Amino acid sequence: MTDLIFTVLFIEAFLLPALIGGGIALGMGIIIMIAARVFFVPVDEKMKKLVNILPGINCGACGYSGCEEYANALRNGETDDAGKCPVGGAATASELAEFLGLEIPDFTPQAAHVFCHGTLQHTSKRFDYSGTVSCAAAHGLFSGPNSCTYGCLGFGDCAQACPYDAIYMADGIAHVDSLKCTACGLCVKTCPKLLIEIIPKHLNTYTVKCKNKWPGAQTRKNCSIGCIGCRMCYKTCRFDAISMDGPLAVIDQEKCTRCGECLDVCPTGTIHNGLMLAPDAENHPRSSGLHLWVDPKIRRKQAETQKNAAKHDE
């Protein structure tokens, strides 16, 4: 009798719950197994290899939302341009082209460039800023403490965004170490002043390192190295490479022949030759170029003494 009660209890208390629980688990397991078969998505080997070739930082500089998207577009034939990844550079471009059997694109290396050199020596502060150390925050407070409201704030939002440690802060503005820069464009998106642009990586690049849209007099008052819109370079350029965007000269990098004539005529020294290098590079910070920038006053003096010397010789 006790045996019977015990057996019934055993079935009621242990066996039934175990069976039901186990049954549901088994059912779910079988359904998952079937689902895995029915909804099986084959992993594409070609896709895997393409993703492996790409650098995988998902910066979006290629115009797709990430490396995988670009690989997908290449695989599906939506694009046949293998040179869209500036981060991987020429090596990645040729590897991709080789793998897909495409033409090897002529790849121009590019680098980010900060279009401002209003360092602490050239600008002043309108007020003392003691808030959060962030360009975005400082920009929100009366466009930041700098006398030039178009200029670099120097709090280093771009340096923080850079995954390659290529941006460093010196003299109150940001500098890009163009050797480390891969032109991924993450810094371009973070700058609240929109000062950073991606330009061809050429050690003899000429740029108007200024973005201010003030009239000349106001620029002069606030920054001693800003573009005053005098149009001297615009008139000098023989290749139509310089255009005026209001009171600001802009050099078209594609048309520029790097002759350097504009640099000589610029009265404020806003035009800059060469890309920036690391702080430990020679003649830091504005020295990478072939054509070194000299203060216009000194340059004029040098020219005069040379002329005088020539006259003297006669």
Binding site for another protein (CB under 8 A): 16-17, 20-21, 24-25, 28-29, 31-32, 35-36, 38-41, 131-132, 134, 136-137, 140
Min dist CB 37 to another protein, Å, is 10
Separation of alpha carbons 277 and 141, rounded Å:
31
DSSP 267: S
Least Cβ distance, residue 301 to another protein (angstroms): 48
Closer to another protein by Cβ: residue 99 or 129: 129
The closest of 275, 88, 85 to 178, measured between CA atoms, is 275
Residue whose CB is less far from another protein, 16 or 292: 16
Question: What is the closest distance, in whole angstroms, from the C-beta atom of residue 72 to another protein in the complex?
Answer: 11
Nearer to another protein, 48 or 221 (CB): 48
State the maximum Cα–Cα separation within the chain, in Å, rounded to a whole number: 138
Question: Given the complex with another protein, which of 17 and 279 has the nearer CB atom?
Answer: 17
As a whole number of Å, the CA-based R_g of the chain is 31
Q: How far is CA 62 from the centre of its chain?
A: 12
Task: Please give the structure tokens belonging to residue 231.
Answer: 């149009």
What span, in angstroms and rounded, lies between the C-alpha atoms of 91 and 96?
9
Cβ distance to another protein smaller for residue 25 or 292:
25
Kindly state the smallest distance separating residue 75's Cβ from another protein, in Å. Answer: 15
How many angstroms separate the CA atoms of 209 and 174, rounded?
A: 12
Q: How far is the CB of 166 from another protein (least distance, A)?
A: 24
